[in-house]
Structure 1
Amino acid sequence: MLQANWDKSTQQSIQGKTALVLLGIVLLSLFFPLFLSGVGLFLSLWVIVPAPTFWMLPLAVAAPEASPWLLGVNAIALILAILNLQEGGLDNFAVICSLIGLILSLLPLIQFPGVNARIAAQMQRDLGLEDWATITPDAPTPMRPQPFSLADAFRGIAIAKRCCFQQIAEVRIDRGIIFSQPDGVNLKLNVYRPLTVGKYPAIITIYGGAWQVGTPDNNETFNRYMANQGYSVIAIDYRHAPQYHFPAQLEDVQAALSYIQSHAHELEIDTERIALMGRSAGAQLAALAAYHLNTIPIRAVVNYYGPVDLKEGYHDLPFPDPLNIRAILRAFLAGTPDEVPELYLEASPIRYVKSNLPPTLLVYAGRDHIIKAKFGRQLYEQLQAADNCAVWLEIPWAEHAFDAVFNGVSNQLALYYTERFLAWALKSS
């Protein structure tokens, strides 16, 4: 009797669960196309919509870079919506959402050929190259053969061995080397080198982060990639605002450069072939060090979306302004341009433009809502007016820190020309 009741109860439970599963399948078949279309449209909107707040900034940064992925999502959603299409109702709305998302996700890819052609022509002209074949440096891994690969957008940029969605270079890494201790703060650097012991051109990288956050571990995929290209890449640290105000950060960069020069042998670097590279706040420090300091000879500067005129940047704000640029500058310089005008001048790389500066590659995002691209353009024009070699690379669909998505559309383009610029500056002469 008990067994019969148990069997009956179990059977009813199974039947109830089966009914719920079937109901779920029916609801999923009815509403999944609409759900997928909505998600695809929401994410694709960030290709053109600027982030109003800091928390939404990652969406605006990542959406253009992930446009091949979004294209796939929107295409699948559109197909499902069409297959499920009925007279009127939600399926028609799903089709419309998918079509809009599809168009938005196509925008970076549609623009890519024209932008690439313009950059290639301008860069060859500025560097005096007839074609890229003249740059053929020896390296463990050859340079990227093309500025964009759809396969790399999905699988990651090939370096050496696969790890998740990235291809991680097998290089030697030494972390946490203390190069200075101002005010008792341990400032460290990381060194990324090819597997073979030797003497290599050096790329000294300075991280961004509004002068307030970051470590030498930032941008490690790029550092590994370039080490695998035959460089010693040295990522350096500096003290952060608001606890430490400018020029403390520049002093720390100078200390790092002095340390690198005095330890060149053990770091395996050629002191005659050194480039400074920075991103955002780090680019400002790299440009100041190259244009203003005379610590060590610098052969080239790579400036990724760095501030160059801090007073103008304080008054000419992006809209929207998700990071509150004025608050960042006040924390960095301990005041407003009216309160500390001399510091705003001293911290502006554009102030130090003169002749005989190192060749400079300026990489800026056309939709940057942190550092307006027009300021980078002004630096480029002033460098050229002073008879310096300067190259301008603007990516119209990209947002600030686009290269955080290493296999993204914009970083593939920037990386293609950055590695050629560095090979030209450090290896070809």
Structure 2
Amino acid sequence: MNMFKKSRLISWLVLLLSLIALFLSAWILIPAPTMPLLVLSVGAREVCPWLLVANTIILLTAWLLLRDSGRRLALIASLIGLLICGWELASIAPAQAQMENAMRQELGQDYLNKIPAEALSQMRSTPFAFIDSFRGISQGKTRHLEGVIFNTPAGDDLSMEIYQPPEKGIYPALVVIYGGAWRSGSPKSYPEFNRYMAARGYTVFAIDYRHAPRYRYPAQQEDVLASLNFIRENAAKYEADAERVVLFGRSSGAHLAMLAAYNSNVLPVRGVISYYGPVNLTEGYNNPPRPDPINTRMVLEDFLGGVPQKLPKQYEVASPISYVKNKVAPTLLIYGSQDHVVQAKYGRQIYQGLQKEGNTAVLLEIPWAEHGFDAVFNGVSNQLALYYTERFLAWAVKTGNGL
């Protein structure tokens, strides 16, 4: 009797685990309707190798140990989960090939040969390493200055986090602008990325800006420009080369980075990198994604102070696509094809505009990725994004190819 109860308990446990694993795996395919579910959807896609292993273990356990009615259901659930994960992982090789082709087509077939060998030796050697999904990505030693105040608009201190290579010197500057729908976030976010880049020979300035709805545009852009002024005036103090600067942003931070790169002359920006950044705010308002987990229209109204029908000029001047012209900074655009916050079509839109004006622009799309795909530093999507980001960055500031 005890053995029977134990067997039933194991059967129910395996069945429960198979259903949980299937539920998590399903979010690789399901678009998230709400913000909490968006977090789940992003996470599932980026820890896909973990889910693959979990589904495999559960499948084998059900096959070998179960003999009751729950066996079939557990096998079906884990097999479906396994197939979903397998689809994503099978998509990596063709996606990487397309990315490599896009880089070579725009930067030149020999663009890697122009990057110093020492810089190349510090970069990731492969776009995706399955084992790194489990062991993580080594970041290296850095120096970190916390809470460096660069401006005090309206009595509010704005600060930046500065990450420097381990050895003293003068290094290219990477200005990092966080995302958060212009209403939340911190320069302390994504420290792994900042440490990684600093360890590879960049002085990283992760900056802050004022948030909506308390402060509306152009307050955020003014703060970005203030940070660039601070960097220009204090470059030597913080071991940065003010003549070799690249702007990097995520989501709303990418929007601010593109505005600064295309429509200011505070610093000679050698390149701009946009991870899933909004580019056309009027169209974004009029055609929000379906589903719309962040309530795009409310976010834009809070940021700009109203609707585009009443504030058409405000929406226009706040859109990076309005400033696309000849001889803007070389641009790397990375978007997730499954993004339901900033759809990939906007990346294609500004890419086409940049190309039409004769600018250097690279568009990379990750077929399975959602918004915020780099939230897991050693996740599937970020491994690909990081591989090409560090190569574009070195091409822009270490070869003389940037503006």
Match of 2:193 in 1: 222
CA pair 175-101 structure 1, distance change in 2 beyond 3 A? same
Q: 1:336 aligns with which of 292, 303, 307?
A: 307
For 1:24 and 1:211, the matched residues in 2 are separated by 55
For 2:194 and 2:384, the matched residues in 1 are separated by 17
How do 1:415-426 and structure 2 match up within 5 A? Answer: 415-426=386-397
For 2:53 and 2:9, the matched residues in 1 are separated by 20
Unaligned 5+ residue runs, structure 2?
A: none
- Say if 2:11 and 2:70, in contact at 8 Å, map to a contact too: no
How do 1:22-421 and structure 2 match up within 5 A? Answer: 25-86=6-67, 89-130=69-110, 132-139=112-119, 142-159=122-139, 169-421=140-392
Deviation for aligned residue 1:267? 1.2
Deviation for aligned residue 1:140? 10
1:76 is matched by which residue type in structure 2? I
- Say if 2:324 and 2:354, in contact at 8 Å, map to a contact too: yes
Deviation for aligned residue 1:428? 1.8
For 1:246 and 1:428, the matched residues in 2 are separated by 35
SS at match of 2:150: strand
Scaled by the length of structure 1, the TM-score of the pair is: 0.91
Deviation for aligned residue 1:141? 6.8
For 1:131 and 1:114, the matched residues in 2 are separated by 21
Deviation for aligned residue 1:32? 2.0
- Say if 1:138 and 1:230, in contact at 8 Å, map to a contact too: no
2:105 is matched by which residue type in structure 1? R
Unaligned 5+ residue runs, structure 1?
A: 1-18, 160-168
Q: Which runs of 4+ in 1 moved over 2 A?
A: 22-28, 84-87, 129-141
* Residues 204-244 of structure 1: CA deviation (Å, up to 9, x unaligned): 00000000011110111100000001000001110000000
- Say if 2:249 and 2:257, in contact at 8 Å, map to a contact too: yes
Deviation for aligned residue 1:33? 1.8
Deviation for aligned residue 1:85? 4.2
Match of 1:8 in 2: none
For 2:252 and 2:125, the matched residues in 1 are separated by 31
1:266 is matched by which residue type in structure 2? K
* Residues 328-366 of structure 1: CA deviation (Å, up to 9, x unaligned): 000000100012111100110000000011100000010
2:98 is matched by which residue type in structure 1? R
- Say if 1:140 and 1:230, in contact at 8 Å, map to a contact too: no
- Say if 1:34 and 1:91, in contact at 8 Å, map to a contact too: yes
SS at match of 1:49: coil
SS at match of 2:101: helix
For 2:173 and 2:5, the matched residues in 1 are separated by 59
- Say if 2:321 and 2:350, in contact at 8 Å, map to a contact too: yes
Deviation for aligned residue 1:315? 1.0
Deviation for aligned residue 1:31? 1.4
- Say if 1:227 and 1:233, in contact at 8 Å, map to a contact too: yes
CA pair 137-351 structure 1, distance change in 2 beyond 3 A? farther
Deviation for aligned residue 1:158? 2.0
For 2:222 and 2:116, the matched residues in 1 are separated by 36
